[in-house]
Amino acid sequence: MERLKSAVPAELRRAVGEGAAADLPTTTSRLLAFFDSLPLFHQVMRELTDPELALCRKDKGRAAELKGKGNACFSRREFGEALGFYSQALRHVPTNSDGMDVNLVSAIYANRASTMHAWYRKGMVKASLKNYSSAIHDLEVALSTEMTSLGKSNIEQELKLILQKQENVNEVGTSDCDSKDADVPLSEQPQKVIIDSISTPNKGRGMASIDDIPPALLIHVEDPLAAIIMKSSRETHCHFCFNEAPADVVFCPSCTIPIYCSKRCQEQAVGDISCNQDTYLEYDDHATSIAKLSITSSCKSPSSKLFAEHRHECGGAHWAAVLPADIVLAGRIMAQDREKRMLYGKSVASSGPNLDLVHHYDHHSPDNKLESQIYAIVLLLCLQNHYRSDLSWTEDSLSQLVLLIFQIKVNSIAIVRMKSMDGGPELTVNKGVSAAKGANMCSVEQAGEMHLPDRQKSLQENYYFSCQCSSCSELNLSDLVMNSFCCPQSNCLGAISESTYYRSKENFVHVSLGGSYVWKLSLPDVSKVGKDMEKVASSLLGNSGASLNIDPGCCMNCRSHIDVSSAAATSHREASKINRLKEITLLDKTLIPEALQSLKQLKKLRHPYSKVFAQAEDTIAEAFVKVGDQEQAQKHCEASIQILEKLYHPKHITIAHELIKLVSILLSLGDGASAAATFARAEAIFSLYYGSHMEKILAYMGTLKRAVRCESTTGAC
């Protein structure tokens, strides 16, 4: 899109940038007229919509190449890699009646079936070794691609027996991890909370309750208006239900963009698939139907969604894979609105859905306005290319589409499902690893709260909203130390900031960064301030009613001074050296001493409660796990937790995630009692956030709990 932006004349660019929402009919019409006369624009649209130029088109040659790579891996008994290549071959092989090579398709399916049979053999071997969790995983993979009913029945019977054996092992006693924290109110019966939709000038629409809401209570469930998978998860998760994709993924019959976890998800996303059952391919004494695939005009399955979300994005064009996610999401909403109108017999001439959502168009930057208008024009033409004569729009369609894009920017959210355990659930039951090959650790990144300036900046830039909650309006320890440096005096715990702090006579603290005003905070009641906060910023808290200015690089306690720019540069350099450990899968022990030296340098620069320091300890803990040194991993993981306990309240969810990492280390060390106590604490915190839905949201918790119980009662799994 940069080519199109740079081609817009300065006068038209200025009109778009200075225009308000009321001016959109004029500015979008002028922009569309300009692009209509621009050869570059027509070239860009052809690149996006012409199936002959599409990167996502089916390719028989590519499919054959991937099949060959799969064969090579299979001959080396690299079954996991072979399975991946065969699946990708199925992704690229043409399956329509005109371009389908029956022999190639049947060979790929046959080879993938042979690979899956290897998974069955692996599962049975692991079951004989009583490695039940890993065996269940392998057999489930085998089951998911078994084509015959007899084969499926046999695998299901084996799975049932192994699951029963696993349950018998897990029921050998209980552990402390069954206990609940006394502070966690978990009700067996769901409580009803009366909520109402309200609107406020500063926050807009929201929900409120007149009664107190218990922790972790599910109070509202609502389907999204539209959803789309993030680009980072396109190759690992189903594009329809967003669950993790299995080994035998299903592909779109007309393009290579989406993957689906099942035929059902594919049909609901793409539309019903009609099958001619007159073609059968024989191999290995099995008859397999290779369906002739075609996309119908609507979803007929009573259990499917009303709207086939990928159908208008398909047909061989790849614009849905190239345009940003929020633009593709706008296309889905527009297409959904059109199909609903057709279903209910309404006119398809529409400016788009009338969403009662804020857009803040007038507040956005000139560059954002121009970019969104260009994307609106491109998206509208992509949709017209799909619907052709079946699609008609009113004169203000383009204006409404621009506002829809901004509504999505302001109101959509990214939902992230954290990956909990590298390599699958079997990691939680493998005991006593001493080599790097078998060492594992829960791999959830430290998140936690953002620094106050970052929080306020994000809210203002994305939502034009200034938060006034107690955490954002009152000075607290976390915001003082999160990104701070340590005092050069060894006996002083004072924090040193890159910001300027000015305390007014009215007992407010005004904070500025780089000469720009950032925020205003009220001073807390001195009688309620903890000892840590007194030691960190006694100058700000003392002498109530007197004004005071603390410059960048000045200690908030003893007023000592450092060169904060130099300290920040050195800190960034040393932290970067430590972070390199994350990028290395097979870590060499010789790299850790250098990271430990960088950690020592950070200790000399950063405040002992800073988040940078906590993240560095966490990274080094993971590095020691990779090389099999669990004792050192425990030491650094516990150090990270101690810092987080200073930064956040004791039941903060970031601490719970770090505790789970510690549990996995303790299990590797065979310390069942400590693992059980640590798990119980993490479970209590998660229960505050997720209640009875905890194990649905954190799928690894059930498996980890059984491993902890097994280790603490028997001393081995």
Task: Write out pLDDT tens, residues 145-184.
Answer: 666 666 777 788 888 888 877 776 654 433 333 333 334 4
What is the amino acid identity at position 623? A
The predicted pLDDT at position 281 comes to 30
Instruction: Provide the pairing of β-strand 516-522 with 495-496.
Output: unpaired
The predicted pLDDT at position 287 comes to 30
**Distance of alpha carbon 504 from alpha carbon 496, whole angstroms:** 19
**Domains detected in the chain:** 60-168 (1.25.40), 452-515+527-562 (no CATH)
Specify the length of the chain in residues. Answer: 717
Q: Are 271 and 284 in contact (CB under 8 A)?
A: no
The predicted pLDDT at position 125 comes to 76
The predicted pLDDT at position 184 comes to 40
The predicted pLDDT at position 181 comes to 38
The predicted pLDDT at position 65 comes to 84
The predicted pLDDT at position 37 comes to 92
Helix (H) or strand (E) holding 518: strand 516-522
Nearest residue to 167 (alpha-carbon basis) of 716, 713, 710: 710
Determine if the pTM surpasses 0.75.
Answer: no
The predicted pLDDT at position 176 comes to 36
Give the DSSP letter of residue 337. Answer: H
Intervals of the chain under pLDDT 50:
171-189, 273-305, 418-443, 447
The predicted pLDDT at position 423 comes to 37
Partner residues linked to 442 by β-bridges: 421
The predicted pLDDT at position 395 comes to 62
Q: Which long-range contacts (CB under 8 A, 24 or more apart) does 712-717 make?
A: 712/175, 712/176, 712/177, 712/672, 712/673, 712/675, 712/676, 713/172, 713/173, 713/174, 713/175, 713/672, 714/172, 714/173, 715/670, 715/672, 716/431, 716/670, 717/169, 717/429, 717/430, 717/431
Burial class of 186 by CB neighbour count within 10 A (0 to 12, 13 to 18, 19+)? middle
Place of tokens 């390719």: 59
Write out pLDDT tens, residues 268-293. Answer: 888 754 433 332 233 233 333 322 22
The predicted pLDDT at position 294 comes to 27
User: Which phi and psi angles does 204 have, rounded to 5°?
Assistant: 80, -155
Q: Are 591 and 581 in contact (CB under 8 A)?
A: yes
- Chain centroid to Cα 187, Å, comes to 30
